[in-house]
Amino acid sequence: MPSLIDLRRRIRSVKNTQQITKAMKVVSAAKLRRAQDRVLAARPYAQSIRRMLANVMQAVGDGQESEGLEFLIKRPEKRIQLLVITADRGLAGAFNSNVIRTAQKFIADNSSAEVQLELIGRKGRDFFRKRHRQITGDYSAIFQKVVRFEDAQEIGRKVTERFKQGEIDAVYLVLNNFKSLMASRLVVSRLLPLEPPEGQEQIDYIYEQPPGELLASLLPRYIEAQIFRALLESAAAEHAARMTAMEAASSNAAEVIDSLTLKMNRVRQASITREIIEIVSGAAALD
């Protein structure tokens, strides 16, 4: 049985850990509030530009124009670009492991194709580097600061140009979508080639320039907007997951402290009882 000194040291250590987890929960809650506001502000623009793009795609298809159609052509998916968005840090429950597991499943399901990875976030980079996957890009410092649109532009321009040049046949995205404080949703979505959403009411725009030219200039902005939204969604989901994980860790620490305190009291009580017995036995021996 551990001594009183050992139990007091363990209790003090767990209390220090609990203070850290409580502080991390407060920090994550503050960051989540700002990240959630940015996600809610980005969603309407991403949805609007998607609807506009779908109508322009319809006009391009009706007009049979060549310009801009390279982004709509489906090719056999022999070379796939996979964007994997993870966090830079752990202590967020299963946030990173779920994304990595989904990416691994995607790679296994597309074993006949050459899957090239664009890794956003340090955790995904560290994992896939050790497993000798084909990595074409590494963005491990994006989440160390506030997510910027310039980062999404850089990634979007790269994958769009590679698709346009025929270096890749499709672009997919794996991330945790922010759903609520208690839950996030794993998403595997295709960015390129584009498909107009089914059942959407088409709007007949009056174009000042050929729809193909408009599509060619609009599509890179759409890709950048979708990637920027994905980065914001992942950042918000990360803070929510870390907040939930730190709350659970604080509760578990409280339970451990209670258990150790009870054990310490029992050890102290046994020690006092033993000393009383020794005193009584000594007194009886003198008599």
pLDDT in tens, 10-34: 888 888 988 998 898 888 888 888 8
If pLDDT is split at 50, 70 and 90, which confidence band does 287 have? low
Contact 84, 117 (CB under 8 A): yes
Contact 190, 170 (CB under 8 A): yes
What is the predicted pLDDT for the residue at 173?
Answer: 92
Mean pLDDT for the stretch of residues 151-164: 88
Name the 3-class secondary structure at 101.
helix
Contact 66, 87 (CB under 8 A): no
Residue 201 has pLDDT above 70, yes or no: no
What is the predicted pLDDT for the residue at 203?
Answer: 66
What is the predicted pLDDT for the residue at 172?
Answer: 92
Mean pLDDT for the stretch of residues 188-214: 72
Proportion of the chain above pLDDT 70, given as a percent: 90
Tokens of 168: 């890749």
Residue 57 has pLDDT above 70, yes or no: yes
What is the predicted pLDDT for the residue at 174?
Answer: 92
**What span, in angstroms and rounded, lies between the C-alpha atoms of 36 and 235?**
9
DSSP state of 75: -
Residue 53 has pLDDT above 60, yes or no: yes
What is the predicted pLDDT for the residue at 46?
Answer: 80
Read off the pTM. 0.82
B/e letters for 28-46, b = 16+ CB within 10 Å, e = fewer, are bbebbeebbebbeebeeeb
What is the predicted pLDDT for the residue at 139?
Answer: 87
Residue 89 has pLDDT above 60, yes or no: yes
For 240, half-sphere exposure in the C-beta direction (CA atoms, 13 angstrom radius) is 21
**What span, in angstroms and rounded, lies between the C-alpha atoms of 248 and 92?**
11
What is the predicted pLDDT for the residue at 82?
Answer: 92
Residue (of 123, 83, 124) closest to 226 by Cα position: 83
Name the 3-class secondary structure at 181.
coil
Length of the chain: 287
Mean of pLDDT over the chain: 82
Count of C-beta atoms within a 10 Å radius of residue 221: 13
| CA separation, residue 265 to residues 6, 7, 11, 15, 276 (Å) | 13, 10, 12, 17, 16
What is the predicted pLDDT for the residue at 69?
Answer: 67
For 128, half-sphere exposure in the C-beta direction (CA atoms, 13 angstrom radius) is 31
If pLDDT is split at 50, 70 and 90, which confidence band does 266 have? confident
Mean pLDDT for the stretch of residues 118-131: 88
Please provide residue 81's backbone torsions phi and psi, each rounded to the nearest 5 degrees. -95, 120
Comparing 189 with 59, the larger pLDDT belongs to 189
